[in-house]
Amino acid sequence: MSARSKARKRALDVLYGADVRQIPLNQALATEAERAASEPQRESSWLYAREIVDGVIDNLDEIDEQIETYSQGWTLARMPLVDRAILRIGVWELLFNDEIPEGVAISEAVESATVLSTDDSAGFINGLLAKIAQSNTK
Q: What is the pLDDT of the chain when averaged over all its residues? A: 93
Mean pLDDT of 38-49: 81
Distances (CA, A) of 95 to 22, 37, 71, 77: 26, 29, 16, 22
Looking at per-residue confidence, does 44 or 123 come out higher? 123
Mean pLDDT of 70-99: 95
Task: Give the global pTM.
Answer: 0.94
Distances (CA, A) of 22 to 11, 16, 132: 16, 10, 27
User: Does residue 56 register a pLDDT over 90?
Assistant: yes
